[in-house]
Structure formats: C-alpha cells, structure tokens
Amino acid sequence: DGGITQSPKYLFRKEGQNVTLSCEQNLNHDAMYWYRQDPGQGLRLIYYSQIVNDFQKGDIAEGYSVSREKKESFPLTVTSAQKNPTAFYLCASSHRGGTLGRETQYFGPGTRLLVL
Amino acid sequence: GIQVEQSPPDLILQEGANSTLRCNFSDSVNNLQWFHQNPWGQLINLFYIPSGTKQNGRLSATTVATERYSLLYISSSQTTDSGVYFCAVAWNTDKLIFGTGTRLQVFP
C-alpha cells in the first residue's frame, strides 16, 4: 500500500538526549515536511525539503535538525537544545509538479514525544 | 504572514445534524486545504480548494478567495465525523499555515 509511515509511535527522551524520528514515504513525492502540534493547537512547520539533499527551515526550526539523503526518507532529530520537545510530531509529503505551493499534502500517523 | 482564524472553536452536535465550519484568512492565498484529524491524531486531507466549490459525499466546501474565507459543510453528521477540522493556507509556497481548528463532537 502507498503511504507515509512514522516510527516510533511513542518516544521517550531523557534530559540532554538527542532522539531521531523516522519518516518514510512510498508515494514518490518530491517534497516532505515536519510539523509539531502542541495540545489544542494547530500545526507549526519545523523543516521542509523540496528535493533530495536540500531542506529549509520552517517557523520553529531551533533545536531540530533534518537530513534528506533519499527521496523516500526525511528523518527529524530533536536535539538537547530543544528545551520543550514534548509534542506530537507529524510528517507529510506532497508532489511538486506544476505551480509552487499548489499541491495537496498527505500526512503520516505521527509520533508522540515525551520528556522524562 | 498570513493569519488564519477558524470558527467556532468547539461544536457539539447530535447525530444527523448539519453544521458549517468557517475559515477566515488575512491575505491572498492560492492554496487552501481542509483536513480532519481523528481522535488518534491522523490527519486526512478532505479538500484542496483555493477557490470554488467541491463536494465529496456528505462533505462540501466553498472558498470565496476575493472575500478571504472558506466554509466546510457537514451534512447528516455521524459519530465518526468527530475530531478536529483544520484549515491551512499558503501563497506561492510549500509552507502551509494552519488555523487552530474546530473541535467537533458528534453524539449518538
């Protein structure tokens, strides 16, 4: 089945620890995105990537890092510099054909990160 | 940047009722999407509708871009419609800006 997978479903982080969230898609989409959702809030963009080996910061990139070595994969690392990482993290992807910014985004099931 | 406001913030319905959710945005957009987030957190794209009207079963959406608003209509609501409905917009960019959502609860 085509889709977006995220793992793990739940992740616990200790103080000072870096953790990496996985996002894989088999939709042959060029663009991939990472969002953060806090309780009762909308989604905020952390990083996005339009092509392999290239990515841009979103609105809340501080304390996070990404890589895009393969078209199918866009892992997100939550570093120890992110002081309030407890949140729900969602990965999305979309085509990039046609006019920039006019493509539907499809979401993975999300990862809940909790700080111990 | 573009501001997105959704109303109402919360909506409680009995099964079978109809409802209208509203999304106002502060500037021109050429990308507007409606999403449903189920109680388990999964976001499903409902409509890509930067202008005009679309229908999909019991759901329909209308965007009046010149007046900077979009409406999502849910008819004959079912308990499975419960969750949070988000509107997200963009102008010439991949960076969607999300509203804070409308939380819908449908009771049998």
- From chain A, the residues in CB contact with B4 under 8 A are 42
A/B interface, count of CB pairs below 8 Å: 65
Average pLDDT, chain A: 91
Which pLDDT score, from 0 to 100, does residue A1 have?
Answer: 59
**How are the residues of chain B apportioned to helix, strand and coil, as percentages rounded to the nearest 5?**
5, 55, 35
- Cβ burial A36-49 (10 Å sphere, 16+ → b, else e): bbeeeebbbbbbbb
Please tell me whether residue B74 adopts helix, strand or coil conformation.
Answer: strand
Q: Yes or no: say if A87 and A15 are a contact pair by the CB < 8 Å rule.
A: no
* Cα B63 from chain centre: 10
Q: What angle do CA A27, A34, B93 make, to 5 degrees?
A: 80
Cβ <8 Å between B30 and A99 = yes
Q: Report residue B14 as tokens.
A: 């009995």
How far does B64 lie from chain A, in Å, by closest CA? 17
Is pLDDT at A100 greater than 60 in this prediction? Answer: no
The larger pLDDT score, comparing residue A73 to residue A16, is at: A73
A11 touching chain B per CB within 8 A: no
Is pLDDT at A99 greater than 80 in this prediction? Answer: no
Q: For residue A81, name the pLDDT band (cuts at 50, 70, 90).
A: confident
Give the one of B4, B33, B93 whose C-beta lies nearest to A105's C-beta.
Answer: B33
Cβ <8 Å between A100 and B96 = no
Give the one of A88, A96, A104 whose C-beta lies nearest to B45's C-beta.
Answer: A104
The predicted model gives A60-83 an average pLDDT of 95
Q: Report residue B92 as tokens.
A: 């010439």
- Cα distances from A25 to residues A68, A75, B51, B53, B88, in angstroms, run 12, 11, 29, 30, 22
Cβ <8 Å between A100 and B94 = yes
